[in-house]
């Protein structure tokens, strides 16, 4: 893999702060560091709370996408899901309207400031809007314990879930929950157990999940993610980490290189941004996004440039992570 010099990265970096349509993951703005590479623009945007040991993987992904050739693409467009944050049920129709044509919705649940009743009401509203043919997946981000997860699956069973994503955090808990909930026939998908693990293959070897949720940046890039897929044998869902359209392009190139893609991708999240870095963002049209490279527009880079303090913070982070490559 080609690796640019640190000075080249620092000199060409653009740091942006993009407002969100609604609060998501506890933030109102999404910060990202964008880089022009010989293969195209790329993104380095680990969440601010991640330490350098975790963030360096995201830097590997940014360099991979910006400085190396992408694999052969097997498709030119990707069906994507709508993403519903942990909002009041009354707000669900407006959020789903931002994802035109999407027939799958991923619904965030298990938020610390809400109850299971709130989750049930939100999922019920999603089912009402999508109708009986729509597909619903829920994502707990590992925030339930074993008993809470089992209870929640009972409460949500009436909505015919496509799968539940990361109901509990540990691999052992996922294994036990699969056993406890097998009679409910709700597949379990693993996200954090793959991208935050020292061994991303452990969850598959342990039989802890039915589906893997893969994100290009946290796994070290497209080529690293494809290597994981080749070794697990499990079906995958390619998702995003609330990226700009440049980061979403990285995820789209990953998804487009996977031979079998049975599930809609979680790559429609540009719809959750109130602004982007391009006048041609990767927004869902008829339930799908294009697979294409994205370059930022100069006026939007300037308009959404982060403050000098935040730019310095990101450049220092970039320098620290580069030292760990």
Binding-site residue positions for Mg(2+): 139, 165, 191
**Annotated binding site, which residues?**
139, 165, 191
Distance CA 58, CA 45 (A): 7
- The runs of H, that is alpha helices, within 162-232 are 171-180, 192-195, 202-205, 222-232
- 215 is a catalytic site residue: yes
- Region for 82 from its dihedrals, namely left if φ exceeds 0, alpha if ψ lies in -120 to 50, beta otherwise: beta
Q: Which two tokens stand for residue 178?
A: 């699969």
Of the residues 215, 223, 253, 311, only one is catalytic, namely 215
Distance CA 93, CA 260 (A): 31
The alpha carbon dihedral of 89, 186, 263, 67 has a sign of positive
Of the residues 106, 108, 127, 317, only one is catalytic, namely 108
Residue written as tokens 């009402």? 128
Strands (E), 142-279: 161-165, 188-190, 211-215, 236-239
Q: At what angle do helices 52-67 and 308-324 cross, to 10 degrees?
A: 90
- Region for 286 from its dihedrals, namely left if φ exceeds 0, alpha if ψ lies in -120 to 50, beta otherwise: left
Catalytic residue numbers?
A: 108, 215
């Amino acid at each position: 893999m080609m690796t640019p010099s640190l000075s080249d990265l620092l000199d060409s970096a653009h740091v942006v702060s993009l407002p969100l349509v609604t609060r998501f993951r506890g933030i109102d703005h999404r910060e990202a560091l964008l880089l022009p590479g010989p293969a195209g623009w790329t993104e380095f945007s680990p969440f601010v709370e991640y330490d350098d040991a975790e963030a360096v993987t995201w830097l590997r992904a940014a360099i991979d996408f910006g400085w190396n050739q992408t694999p052969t693409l097997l498709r030119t467009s990707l069906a994507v899901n709508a993403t519903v944050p942990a909002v009041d049920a009354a707000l669900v129709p407006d959020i789903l309207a931002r994802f035109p044509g999407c027939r799958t919705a991923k619904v965030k649940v298990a938020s610390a400031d809400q109850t299971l009743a709130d989750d049930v009401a939100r999922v019920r509203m999603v089912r009402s809007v999508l109708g009986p043919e729509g597909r619903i997946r829920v994502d707990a981000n590992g925030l339930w314990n074993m008993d809470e997860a089992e209870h929640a699956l009972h409460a949500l069973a009436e909505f015919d879930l496509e799968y539940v994503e990361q109901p509990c955090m540990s691999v052992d808990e996922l294994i036990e929950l699969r056993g406890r909930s097998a009679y409910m026939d709700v597949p379990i998908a693993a996200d954090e157990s793959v991208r935050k693990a020292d061994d991303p293959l452990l969850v598959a070897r342990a039989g802890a999940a039915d589906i893997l949720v893969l994100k290009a940046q946290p796994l070290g890039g497209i080529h690293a993610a494809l290597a994981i897929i080749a070794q697990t044998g499990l079906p995958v869902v390619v998702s995003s980490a609330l990226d700009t359209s440049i980061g979403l392009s990285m995820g789209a190139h990953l998804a487009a290189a996977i031979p079998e893609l049975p599930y809609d991708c979680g790559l429609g999240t540009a719809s959750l941004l109130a602004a982007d870095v391009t006048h041609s963002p990767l927004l869902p049209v008829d339930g799908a996004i294009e697979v294409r490279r994205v370059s930022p527009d100069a006026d939007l880079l300037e308009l959404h440039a982060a403050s000098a303090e935040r730019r310095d913070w990101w450049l220092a982070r970039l320098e620290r992570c580069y030292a760990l490559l």
